[in-house]
Chain A
Amino acid sequence: MDLTPSEAQQMLRHSAQRFIAEHCDPAARRHAMQDPMGFKRQNWGKFADLGWLGLPFPEEVGGFGGGPVEVAILMEEFGRGLATEPYLSTVLLAGTLIAECGTEKQQKGLLPAIINGERLLSFAHYESDARAGLSEVHTVAQTDNHGWTLHGRKIAVLDAVSADVHMVSARLPGAQGAGLALFLVPKDAAGVTLRDAPRLGGGRVAELTFDHARLVPDARLGSGAEVLPTIQSVVDRAIVALSAGAAGMMRSMFDATLDYTKVRKQFGRPLAANQVIRHRLADMYVECEEARAMAARAALLVGADTDSTQRSLAASGAKVKIGRCARNVAEQAVQLHGAMGVTDELDLGLYFKRLLVFEALFGSVDYHLQRHAELFGNSRAE
């Protein structure tokens, strides 16, 4: 047992911190938000140069063989600097799904292009009447001799506007089990409509409609095996990565609040001279430390050789614990900034909105609390 980061892990953190300091200052952040893609493409090239785009992929396909702990280090620093690059969509979701269920041809065709920064992907899974359960998919894929026809509508597709290829989940009529499959859909395929909007706090989000979209025969990801367990596993790991990002955002909000309450004077003394403020800051600090610890723990657990229940427990647990802490830190940070906290003149509001995104993505805190309680009870009953 030793929780000391390795030298390589420390170097990774330093390079992420350097990148954030150089490219994610407040002015650059606002500038990136004006970009129609939601981020600056030249930054993506730097991600590739730094080796981050290949970080979680196996060495056989040109990756660096990093695990959830390394991903969490990057995500925490991205969170601190509020980076808007589509790392989650391209690398952690679509890229990882290709690495884990793609055929050899699909892996060779796409992973090198992801790793060198040429290709961007989105992951289109959620639908408007689905809650958080990953199996609720109504988009349908039908096959004939000439390929596939895809029909349905996806919401909350992150970074779709910049994606070259969308990875889309669909139900196969008459199939056994959950009957889900994933399809690689080129952005310009006939029958695909994209409606894009700004995403809360930075980045882009879209609705994708597939109106009997025609796909080639090998558009289906993998060789025909059921994909729901892999989707579940990839999403659980994405939640853990997002949790590390949330811990980073919380820390930035806390630091800004601490600085502000030290210099802002009312009644002739700094706000932080009042015990009610000091105690609230102490509680926020404790929550930041707890969130960081829980994110690190979850990353270690999903990286270890654990079964799917343990992985899901770690992911739901991180979501609940960090979600609760994040909400309090975010709300108190705004509160302690007074009226300035609700203006768009500070970046505080961007962090507040990005933490809302963290809460809303892949199931609410309450959903994951229920899921944790059920999984925990079942794992004990076995």
Chain B
Amino acid sequence: MSLSFTPEELRFRDEVRAFIAARLSPELRRASSLNVSFFSDPDIVAPWQRALHERGWVAPGWPREHGGPGWTATQRWIFESECAAAGTPQLSPMGIKMIGPVLMRFGTSEQKKFYLPRILSGEDRWCQGYSEPGSGSDLASLKTRAVRRGDHYAVNGTKIWTTHAHFANRMFALVRTSDEPRQQDGISFLLIDMASPGVTIRPIMMISGDHDVNQVFFDEVEVPLTNLIGEEGRGWTCGKYLLEFERGGGINSPKLRYALEKVRGLANSGLSYKAILLQKIATKLSEIELDVQTLEFLELQVLSALQRGENPGPVSSVLKLRASEIHQAISRVGVEMVGQNALVEETRRPLHALKDRPLIPEEVLSVVPRHLNGRANTIFGGSSEIQRDIIAKQVLGL
């Protein structure tokens, strides 16, 4: 057992550092640090994705044959850690970490050849069509229907909580193609062109003032039969595979560490609080620090298992549960640290391009919106209650 990096791994780390230093401009870094949504806005992401694409580093987890760098688990860890520590923009996971792996596993060779390069280049921007107004945690009850009509499906229904639907040109969606005794069996996995006639998008504003999510309506939307992934009626398998990536496939602790460092930094920004309050906050920060260290070690154990060629299994639910709770603890203590500066509600976006000087210091601007948005962490991607159900069933055999 060892936590230290080999000389080759240290050289790789230096290479990543040098790349970031050369390509991450101060403007981009500032814009990224003032981003309060889960995904960075496309105008922040695009230049960074171009830089990564030139280097072949857009999709750290992808194998070489599909245009990824073919990194080891440790190299991926190093890359994610360096990006988090430098505060690089976060690429949308919906192409790279969600639909990408599904296409590699279940897609036809034509589908892979067409879609995968467009994810890497940024030409395609994906959104996820899973939840519906009546189907949240009980996802398998979804009602959006796709009916075969000649060489296409006719899709009718609605999807909700669709992050960045207003920026996306494509959606991967779970739709009902038949009614079966077990409702999971009638679900198929479809790719939908967002420019198709009959697609409408209604923005949903969040309590932070952000517009990230939407409701999407489908009215007789024609989707070619060739846009089906896997077999008809077997979409639930693809959907679950994707959710495992959404929950645990990622490396979360470096980002949490970066967020915690930023919150610690608020204590040095000359805001006035009583010393006694700071004392209490110091112990809170220590408790969160220990939670991050623990999660980090759990993630490294998963990486070690992957490196040995083992499947990490349902531990992704443990990681998702803890990462989301820690994320919320960090943003909550951030609000405590800014004192009465929390009173200012700044709903203009993007925060890096405000026309006039706001009432509160720049490093404080993002604190409250991030806390408000962060409440969704324990809800999306399967709520904490669903994660506990999964642990009870799949890990504990209950």
Q: With a CB–CB cut-off of 8 A, which chain B residues contact A282? A: 387-389, 391-392, 395-396
Contact of B286 among A273, A275, A281, A373 (CB under 8 A): A373
Interface residues on A, range: 35 or more
Q: Is A289 part of the binding interface, using a Cβ–Cβ cutoff of 8 Å?
A: yes
Q: Is B74 part of the binding interface, using a Cβ–Cβ cutoff of 8 Å?
A: yes
Quick check: A1 and B396 within 8 Å, CB to CB? no
A294 to B290, CA, bound (A): 9
Quick check: A279 and B304 within 8 Å, CB to CB? no
Q: Is B398 part of the binding interface, using a Cβ–Cβ cutoff of 8 Å?
A: yes
Q: With a CB–CB cut-off of 8 A, which chain A residues contact B385? A: 279
Given A1-B9, A285-B395, A376-B289: A370 and B283 interface contact (C-beta under 8 Å):
yes
Quick check: B392 and A377 within 8 Å, CB to CB? no
Q: Is B192 part of the binding interface, using a Cβ–Cβ cutoff of 8 Å?
A: no
Quick check: A1 and B77 within 8 Å, CB to CB? yes
* In the complex, per-residue mask of B260-284: 1 if CB is within 8 Å of any chain A CB, else 0: 0000100000000000000100110
A329 to B16, CA, bound (A): 42
User: Which residue of the partner chain A has the closest CB to B298?
Assistant: A293
Contact of A300 among B1, B286, B318, B321 (CB under 8 A): B1
Q: With a CB–CB cut-off of 8 A, which chain A residues contact B322? A: 286, 290
Q: With a CB–CB cut-off of 8 A, which chain B residues contact A293? A: 294, 297-298, 301
A301 to B282, CA, bound (A): 23
Q: With a CB–CB cut-off of 8 A, which chain A residues contact B297? A: 3, 293-294, 296-297
Quick check: A279 and B392 within 8 Å, CB to CB? yes
Q: With a CB–CB cut-off of 8 A, which chain A residues contact B388? A: 278-279, 282-283
Q: With a CB–CB cut-off of 8 A, which chain B residues contact A380? A: 264
Interface residues of A in 116-155 (CB under 8 A from B): none
- In the assembled complex, the CB of A252 is this many whole angstroms from the nearest CB of chain B, namely 15
Quick check: B293 and A297 within 8 Å, CB to CB? yes
Q: Is B291 part of the binding interface, using a Cβ–Cβ cutoff of 8 Å?
A: yes
Quick check: A1 and B2 within 8 Å, CB to CB? yes
Quick check: B294 and A321 within 8 Å, CB to CB? yes
Q: Is B109 part of the binding interface, using a Cβ–Cβ cutoff of 8 Å?
A: no
Q: With a CB–CB cut-off of 8 A, which chain B residues contact A304? A: 3-4
A321 to B293, CA, bound (A): 10
User: Which residue of the partner chain B has the closest CB to A254?
Assistant: B396
Quick check: B290 and A373 within 8 Å, CB to CB? no
Interface residues of A in 37-51 (CB under 8 A from B): none
Q: Is B14 part of the binding interface, using a Cβ–Cβ cutoff of 8 Å?
A: no
Q: With a CB–CB cut-off of 8 A, which chain A residues contact B123? A: none
Quick check: A2 and B298 within 8 Å, CB to CB? no
Given A262-B398, A278-B398, A320-B290: A286 and B1 interface contact (C-beta under 8 Å):
no
Quick check: A4 and B396 within 8 Å, CB to CB? no
- In the assembled complex, the CB of A178 is this many whole angstroms from the nearest CB of chain B, namely 26
Q: Is A369 part of the binding interface, using a Cβ–Cβ cutoff of 8 Å?
A: yes
Q: With a CB–CB cut-off of 8 A, which chain A residues contact B74? A: 1-2
Q: With a CB–CB cut-off of 8 A, which chain A residues contact B286? A: 317, 320, 369, 372-373, 376
User: Which residue of the partner chain B has the closest CB to A275?
Assistant: B389
Q: With a CB–CB cut-off of 8 A, which chain A residues contact B282? A: 373-374, 376-377
A-B interface contact total, Cβ < 8 Å: 120
Q: With a CB–CB cut-off of 8 A, which chain B residues contact A369? A: 283, 286-287
Q: With a CB–CB cut-off of 8 A, which chain B residues contact A223? A: none
User: Which residue of the partner chain B has the closest CB to A376?
Assistant: B286
Contact of A1 among B290, B293, B300, B387 (CB under 8 A): B300
User: Which residue of the partner chain B has the closest CB to A294?
Assistant: B294
Q: Is B226 part of the binding interface, using a Cβ–Cβ cutoff of 8 Å?
A: no
Q: With a CB–CB cut-off of 8 A, which chain B residues contact A320? A: 286-287, 290
- In the assembled complex, the CB of A369 is this many whole angstroms from the nearest CB of chain B, namely 5
Q: Is A258 part of the binding interface, using a Cβ–Cβ cutoff of 8 Å?
A: yes
- In the assembled complex, the CB of A201 is this many whole angstroms from the nearest CB of chain B, namely 26
* In the complex, per-residue mask of A1-29: 1 if CB is within 8 Å of any chain B CB, else 0: 11111100100000000000000000000
Q: Is A93 part of the binding interface, using a Cβ–Cβ cutoff of 8 Å?
A: no
- In the assembled complex, the CB of A236 is this many whole angstroms from the nearest CB of chain B, namely 16
User: Which residue of the partner chain A has the closest CB to B385?
Assistant: A279
A258 to B396, CA, bound (A): 8
Q: Is A69 part of the binding interface, using a Cβ–Cβ cutoff of 8 Å?
A: yes
Quick check: A278 and B1 within 8 Å, CB to CB? no
User: Which residue of the partner chain B has the closest CB to A69?
Assistant: B1
Q: With a CB–CB cut-off of 8 A, which chain A residues contact B294? A: 290, 293-294, 297, 321
Quick check: A5 and B396 within 8 Å, CB to CB? no
Q: Is B357 part of the binding interface, using a Cβ–Cβ cutoff of 8 Å?
A: no
A6 to B289, CA, bound (A): 29
Q: Is A244 part of the binding interface, using a Cβ–Cβ cutoff of 8 Å?
A: no
Q: Is A246 part of the binding interface, using a Cβ–Cβ cutoff of 8 Å?
A: no
User: Which residue of the partner chain A has the closest CB to B77?
Assistant: A1
Q: Is A235 part of the binding interface, using a Cβ–Cβ cutoff of 8 Å?
A: no
A275 to B1, CA, bound (A): 38
User: Which residue of the partner chain B has the closest CB to A261?
Assistant: B398
Quick check: A300 and B3 within 8 Å, CB to CB? yes
A273 to B297, CA, bound (A): 32
Given A317-B290, A369-B287: A281 and B398 interface contact (C-beta under 8 Å):
yes
Q: A4-B304, A293-B297 are in contact. List 11 more A-B contacts (CB 8 A).
A: A1-B77, A3-B2, A278-B396, A282-B396, A285-B395, A286-B321, A294-B297, A304-B4, A369-B286, A373-B285, A376-B286
| Residues in chain B within 8 A of chain A (CB atoms) | 1-5, 9, 74, 77, 264, 279, 282-283, 285-287, 289-291, 293-294, 297-298, 300-301, 303-304, 307-308, 315, 318, 321-322, 385, 387-389, 391-392, 395-396, 398
A-B contact pairs, 29 of them (CB 8 A): A1-B4, A2-B74, A2-B304, A2-B307, A3-B2, A3-B3, A3-B297, A5-B1, A272-B398, A278-B392, A281-B398, A282-B387, A282-B391, A282-B395, A285-B391, A290-B298, A294-B294, A296-B297, A297-B3, A301-B3, A317-B290, A321-B290, A321-B293, A321-B294, A372-B290, A374-B282, A376-B282, A376-B289, A377-B282
